[in-house]
Amino acid sequence: MPLRGNSRRGGRRRARIALALLAGVIAAGGELALTRAQTVATPSVLAGIYSEEQAIRGQTLYNERCWQCHGETLAGLDQAPALVGPQFAGNWQGEPLSALVTKIDTMPPDKPGSLTRAESVDILSYVLWYNGLPVGEQMLVGEQDILKKIPFESPLPAGP
């Protein structure tokens, strides 16, 4: 009899430990879910941050002011580097879009500052589209404070 009693108490203790462990797992799970939600709230180029119309306007501007040097397929020509592919992705990976749009503002090199900010952002949208980044519902805005928080990421595997 005493043996059985002991074993029952032991069983109850084990059950309590199991419950405590379960509570710990649930708490950890809750924390995990929170981290994931925070990640989603951060704007990402992979989530579709420019609109299709914007990229189309950007294409028109690109074909007027950029293609002579950077090429019709953005592959680059002579001195002008490619604006697509692993080399470009390597140059800009993790850099904020504010830096990329600031660079576009200096183009073409013989007429820096000739693009309005809206035009530069439209061209940026076209460049993102060409790099395989998805179209979204919302237009990308030109405020540096916002662009600063969005790093360039390539959907391509890292190049050599």
The nearest distance, CB 91 to ligand HEC, in angstroms, is 4
**Could you say which of 55, 66, 84, 133 contacts ligand HEC (CB under 6 A)?**
66
113 in contact with ligand HEC (CB under 6 A): no
- Residues within window 93-112 making contact with ligand HEC, judged by CB under 6 A: 103-104, 107-109
Tally the residues of the chain. 160
What is the token pair recorded at 7?
A: 């074993």
Q: If you write DSSP's letter for every residue of 30-95 in order, what string do you get? A: HHHHHHHHHHHHS--GGG--SBHHHHHHHHHHHHHHTHHHH-TTS--BTTBPPSSSHHHHHHHTT-
91 in contact with ligand HEC (CB under 6 A): yes
Q: Please count the helices (runs of H) and the strands (runs of E) in the chain.
A: 7, 0
80 in contact with ligand HEC (CB under 6 A): yes
**Binding residues for ligand HEC, per CB under 6 A?**
65-66, 68-70, 79-81, 83, 88, 91, 103-104, 107-109, 115, 123
